[in-house]
Structure 1
Amino acid sequence: MDINEHNPLLPYQPVSDRYHQMKYRRSGKSGIRLPEISLGLWHNFGHNADFTLGRKILRKAFDLGICHFDLANNYGPPFGSAEENFGRILKKDFASLRDELLISSKAGWDMWPGPYGNWGSKKYLISSCDQSLQRMGLDYVDIFYHHRPDPETPLEETMGALDLLVRQGKTLYVGISQYSAEDTEKAIGILKDLGTPLLIHQPRYSMLDRWVENGLLDVLGNEGVGSIAFSPLEQGLLTSKYLKGIPKDSRAAKDGRYLSTDQISADKIQLISQLNEIAEKRGQSLAQMAIAWLLKDPRITSVLVGVSKPEQLDDNVKAVENTTFSADEINGIRSILSGV
């Protein structure tokens, strides 16, 4: 039994071999290396969640060599509460370890009422970063992202705000999320001219959602920019959870905002079952293979996972042990996914 994991009331002492349990990749042409598995705090860290469980998850992650924690201003619920709870945990367990952590936050979605609480204006982004730092009790974050493209604000203004945050010392690096290949290339050029290189792009990417393969990964590879994929398991769809139907305690049954029961059709279950058969032959769980499938591409710096239990991290981290696929496996998986 891990005393750190199971006794969160005791002072946290991370295991000494934590960095031997994880593999790390350089983010593009930068000086930053990220763990191949990073932890996202999108779910299970808001005020509606179990605070003690959140502490256990973060401790377990760090003990496994996961030193990158990813947040956003609107994570919760309610908005801001994931950052608040993370700040509390940071103060209790990780204050002396700050220099070993890479902490990121984002802004770009609806956060507060009125015309200045959303999208990508300089006013919104600067205010959002200030608020995030206050909630987490930090002087700076390591990466600050624009969370989504803004179709109305000029890209020069949004990128200028990211550049300003670096110059103000509020973030060390900047990133973007869900930008198209074309807009990513423009953003890279604007930031390069400003003297603040784009460190990383955070796209949604999974075996079932492969839009990044249609140009974005090529841009990132050519420009030397890293990438970190979110929703690699499609909100649990690429796990064994739904192979025999929809469990009553599943996210699809309890909260249809991110994965609805309508998305879990008989055809989708059959496809997932076929993928699971290949995973079993590889000696992996379906979740492990889904993560490994993304990591097989060297342009993917890290895969961002979210968990509801500490032990799920063990399963996720084992994926890095085998990210090589044979030609037959690649052809078989591509054949299964051809109809998606």
Structure 2
Amino acid sequence: MANTSGAARQPSMPLRRLGSDGPELPVISLSLGSYFGPGGTFEHQRETLCRAFELGLTHFDVADHYGPPDGAAEQTLGRVLAHDLAPHRDELIISTKSGHPLDDGPQSTSLVDALDKSLRRLGLDYVDIFYHYDLADPTHRPPINVTDQLDEITRSGRARFVGLWNYDADWLPWVARHLRERGIPLVGAQSSYSMFDRRAEHNGLLSTLSGTDLGCVASDPLAEGLLIHPYRGGLPATGIKTVTDYWIDFHRRMNETTMGRIDQLWGVARERGQDLAQMALSWVLRDSWMTSAIVPAQLPRTLEGYVAAVDRLDFTEDELEVIEDATDLFTGDDDS
């Protein structure tokens, strides 16, 4: 059993508040989107989750479709919560999501039912943040029944706060205003954001979140593994559940340009005393408007490397200029 006593823990992980009224999150959080299904060894999964807690990564992010199969990651987390972390529930931030298509069929039309299933798998009475995943045409407004269900979810105590996931910047302000008028505690949104995926900057999402007092959590800050190891062609495979059209196009453009750009980034990282993954996390967290970066990890030692990123969140102008030059082909201007 992992040691979660105070003596073993390292409580120095910086915290940032999600939005103006949300919970404080560690600047690095753990995603269970990969490695936490039945394909992994439970003892290794347990060791990784407990080590994350010891390192101050007290925010665990999961979803009802994480596995595979669907729900498997929630079950794994539920077992570890019961066996090891139950005494520390008040110190943890547990978030889950619903609305994404499931592998075994269409998503339930009832968010309340979907969350109830998640809570049973997690062995919890409530989650701290419930994210609604939007699949609607961004030109359309959310159906009223979604608002009603989010209202029931928070009023019943099933979730303390609500977040948005995959929402379009053009209509997010309307959604935020609508939910808040109903008294729903909306606190933030998750968005894919990394040095290689800066669509959230260019489509206005980040400025929109700031203008509505919502926090931002960066999902995929390591670009589906491209910023973990030296990139030498080919799409990442290990632990990646899906490879989106964006990353397929990214790979095509990588093959059309020079690999020297990646080497430039490695050069900057080495001069900073970091590896590329650490610098990528530091870059995402360089400004305080980014609440947290959610990282995957298969092994405890991987987490230990990521945690070191928080010691170097400052960048010189020269470093930022080199990073900008090295990534300007991949900022997402041409992507939807």
TM-score > 0.5, shorter chain as reference: yes
Confirm or deny: 8 A CA contact 2:12 2:56 kept in the other structure. yes
Q: 1:149-168 maps to which residues of 2 (within 5 A)?
A: 149-151=135-137, 154-168=142-156
Aligned-partner Cα distance in 1 for 2:132–2:312: 32
Aligned-partner Cα distance in 2 for 1:191–1:305: 29
C-alpha deviations, 1:94-127, integer Å up to 9, x for none? 1111111110100011237666x25xxxx43111
**Alpha carbons of 1:311 and 1:68: their partners in 2 closer, same or farther (altered >3 Å)?**
same
Share of identical aligned residues, percent? 38
Which stretches in structure 2 are left out of the alignment for 5+ residues?
Answer: 331-336
Q: Cα distance, 1:255 vs. partner?
A: 6.2
Aligned-partner Cα distance in 2 for 1:245–1:180: 31
C-alpha deviations, 1:219-241, integer Å up to 9, x for none? 111221111101111111012x2
Aligned-partner Cα distance in 2 for 1:86–1:44: 12
Confirm or deny: 8 A CA contact 1:238 1:272 kept in the other structure. no
Q: Cα distance, 1:262 vs. partner?
A: 4.9
Is 2:302 the partner of 1:312? yes
Q: Cα distance, 1:245 vs. partner?
A: 5.5
Aligned-partner Cα distance in 2 for 1:319–1:254: 22
Q: Cα distance, 1:47 vs. partner?
A: 1.4
Confirm or deny: 8 A CA contact 1:204 1:232 kept in the other structure. yes
Name which of 320, 324, 328 aligns with 2:314. 324
Is 2:161 the partner of 1:176? no
Aligned to 2:206: 217
Confirm or deny: 8 A CA contact 1:220 1:299 kept in the other structure. no
**Alpha carbons of 1:286 and 1:335: their partners in 2 closer, same or farther (altered >3 Å)?**
same
The 3-state SS of whatever aligns with 1:182 is coil
Aligned to 1:301: 291
Aligned-partner Cα distance in 1 for 2:157–2:102: 23
Name which of 6, 9, 29 aligns with 1:38. 29
Aligned to 2:131: 145
Aligned-partner Cα distance in 1 for 2:83–2:292: 27
Is 2:214 the partner of 1:229? no
Count of aligned pairs between the two proteins: 322
Aligned to 1:7: none
Confirm or deny: 8 A CA contact 1:14 1:62 kept in the other structure. no
Confirm or deny: 8 A CA contact 2:34 2:239 kept in the other structure. no
Aligned to 2:272: 282
The 3-state SS of whatever aligns with 1:252 is coil
Code of the residue aligned with 2:118 in structure 1: it is: S
Name which of 175, 191, 206 aligns with 2:179. 191
- Larger relative contact order (C-alpha < 8 A, sep ≥ 6)? 2
Confirm or deny: 8 A CA contact 1:203 1:228 kept in the other structure. yes
The 3-state SS of whatever aligns with 1:181 is coil
Aligned to 1:72: 63
Confirm or deny: 8 A CA contact 1:175 1:200 kept in the other structure. yes
The 3-state SS of whatever aligns with 2:131 is strand
Aligned to 1:109: 100
Q: Cα distance, 1:12 vs. partner?
A: 3.9
Q: Cα distance, 1:93 vs. partner?
A: 0.4
Confirm or deny: 8 A CA contact 2:221 2:293 kept in the other structure. yes
Confirm or deny: 8 A CA contact 1:74 1:80 kept in the other structure. yes
Which stretches in structure 1 are left out of the alignment for 5+ residues?
Answer: 1-9
Aligned to 1:3: none
Aligned-partner Cα distance in 2 for 1:94–1:20: 16
RMSD: 2.3
The 3-state SS of whatever aligns with 1:159 is helix
Between structures 1 and 2, the one with greater helix share: 1
Aligned to 2:334: none
The 3-state SS of whatever aligns with 2:260 is helix
Aligned to 1:83: 74
Is 2:11 the partner of 1:57? no
Q: Which stretch shifts more, 73-82 or 265-274?
A: 265-274
The 3-state SS of whatever aligns with 2:237 is helix
C-alpha deviations, 1:260-290, integer Å up to 9, x for none? 6955637364322211111111111110111
Q: Cα distance, 1:329 vs. partner?
A: 1.1
If the length of structure 1 is used for normalisation, what is the TM-score? 0.88
Q: Cα distance, 1:252 vs. partner?
A: 2.6
Aligned-partner Cα distance in 2 for 1:57–1:283: 25
Aligned-partner Cα distance in 1 for 2:155–2:239: 44
Code of the residue aligned with 1:150 in structure 2: it is: A
Confirm or deny: 8 A CA contact 2:189 2:214 kept in the other structure. yes
Aligned-partner Cα distance in 2 for 1:91–1:289: 35
Name which of 252, 266, 273 aligns with 2:237. 252
